[in-house]
Amino acid sequence: MSTCIVKLTEITVKAYFPPNVPLEEQIITNGVGFLTMSDFNGESHYYLEVDGGTRVNQLRLGEVVTATGKDLDHRLVVTAPMETINPGTPAVFRGPK
């Protein structure tokens, strides 16, 4: 098992829609937080905590979202779809969903 923790800034969380549906709904913008990525027996797992930022729309428990952010080297990080496990502050997500 290997684990990597990445500090992210400029996090944007969006509601997930299938790729063939041309919809986009921003939930959080300009957040900061940590993305933990783990690999266990060939399966990838993600855990994202987002603190701060602006809540543009309501976040609901169980809602499936995707997130983007920038690491400390200003590289773009994009997550797989994740499930909301805490809609409060910090908002917490896990995946892939």
The ranges assigned to domains in the chain are 2-95
Residue 1 clears pLDDT 80, i.e. is over it: no
Query: In the structure encoding, which two tokens stand for residue 83, read together?
Result: 């499930």
pLDDT of residue 41: 85
pLDDT digits (tens, 9 = 90+) for 44-92: 899 999 998 999 999 999 999 999 999 999 999 999 999 999 999 999 9
pLDDT at site 4: 92
Question: How far apart are alpha carbons 35 and 4 in whole angstroms?
Answer: 8
The pTM score is 0.90
pLDDT at 26 over 90: yes
